[in-house]
Amino acid sequence: MTGTAHSTGDRAAGQPAALPARAEVVVRIEKLSKSFDGRLVLDDVHLEVGRSRIVSIIGQSGGGKTTLLRCVNLLERPDHGLLTVAGEPIFSGDRVVCRDLARLRQTVGMVFQRFNLFPHLTAVENVSLAQLRAGVPERQALERSVQLLRRVGLAHRGTAYPEQMSGGEQQRVAIARALALKPAVLLFDEPTSSLDPESTGEVLHVMRELADDGMTMILVTHELPFARDVSDWVVFVDGGRIVEEGKPADVLVRPSELRTRAFLTSYAADH
């Protein structure tokens, strides 16, 4: 299957299941491990994400979801494993093998839980900054930034500063900013966790449009209904390991693992 995630549990000899030849793998993670102060937070994780696929990572807080996501653009450096992005090895064994970290990060857009917009810049400047620093001519960078702000429905807020915008607006600007350098994959780290229900709806609407446009995305999310609707593959992470993965209808509706069932029961009780 294209755009799938594979854990050690569903393949032989601990190797990721091979994707069909037509599937271009954008992100490949093999045997990835990471620890903080001797505490293992990622343990032998395997994941493959094909082009235009959407993988949702779910699980309890502290389970390793965000760390896994942050390893993809090396905001967290893994201890061990193999990591390739858009066909280029970026981490192998226990060292970074990517020659140009800045270019890698331009290939992997990231949207943070707390937006992390630059407060001293207007929305349009937030979106254009990385383009300008990457050498895109000013007018071209501004035109693309305006287009992206239109895409997320915020052209009318282009000259507003982050503090003048609602949480939902800020997160939509953050999405536009992450798209500015035409990334091969977009990472979302709980993009709606800091938002009220109305703002959450606005952000999910934009993400759904991106999904419809064929954007490759990896989401860490607590929005299980959204994950079920848009994802091609759902990964349940607990204790630093991929406990269960599969199609949304399987993992979120008919989970086979006890821990997944317990998580979903707990989620249902809270919502």
Partner 1 sequence: MGWFQVPWSDYTPALLEGLRRTVGYTVVSFAGAAVLGLVLALLRLSPMRVLRIPATVYTEVFKNVPLLAIIFLTYFGLASAGIRLGVFEAGCASLVIFYAAYLSETFRAAISGVHGGQQEAAEALGLGRVSTFAYVIFPQALRLALPGTNTMLVDLLKSTSLLVTISAAELMTQGRLITSATFRALEVYVVIAAVYFALCYPLSQSLLWLERRIRSGVPLSPRRRRRLKIATELLAEKGAPV
Work out whether 39 is an interface residue with partner 1 (CB under 8 A).
Answer: no
Question: Residues 128-167: x/- map of binding to partner 1 (CB under 8 A)?
Answer: xxx--xx---xx--xx-xxxxxxx---xx-xx-x------
* Interface with partner 1 (CB under 8 A), residue from 16, 86, 112, 245: 112
The DSSP secondary-structure symbol of 16 reads P
User: Between residues 74 and 251, which has the closer beta carbon with respect to partner 1?
Assistant: 74
- Rounded distance, CA 38 to CA 199, Å? 38
The total number of residues written for the chain in this structure: 271
Amino acid letter, residue 152: V
Count Cα neighbours of 217 within 13 Å in the Cβ-side half-sphere: 29
For residues 86 and 142, which CB has a smaller minimum distance to partner 1 in the complex? 142
Helix/strand/coil for 19: coil
Q: Among 13-21, 107-115, 200-208, 244-252, which window interacts with partner 1 (CB under 8 A)? A: 107-115
Distances from the Cα of 10 to the Cα of 18, 27, 228, 232, angstroms: 11, 18, 21, 17
Give which of 92, 12, 96, 4 is closest to 52, Cα–Cα: 4
Please report whether residue 171 would count as binding partner 1 according to CB under 8 A.
no
Work out whether 96 is an interface residue with partner 1 (CB under 8 A). Answer: no
Binder among 11, 77, 95, 103 for partner 1 (CB under 8 A): 103
Could you tell me how many residues of this chain bind partner 1 (CB under 8 A)? Answer: 46
| Nearest one of 249, 244, 245, 208 to 226, comparing CA atoms | 208
Q: Which positions lie near partner 1, rule CB under 8 A?
A: 73, 75, 101-106, 108-110, 112, 114, 116-120, 122, 124-125, 128-130, 133-134, 138-139, 142-143, 145-151, 155-156, 158-159, 161, 177-178, 180-181
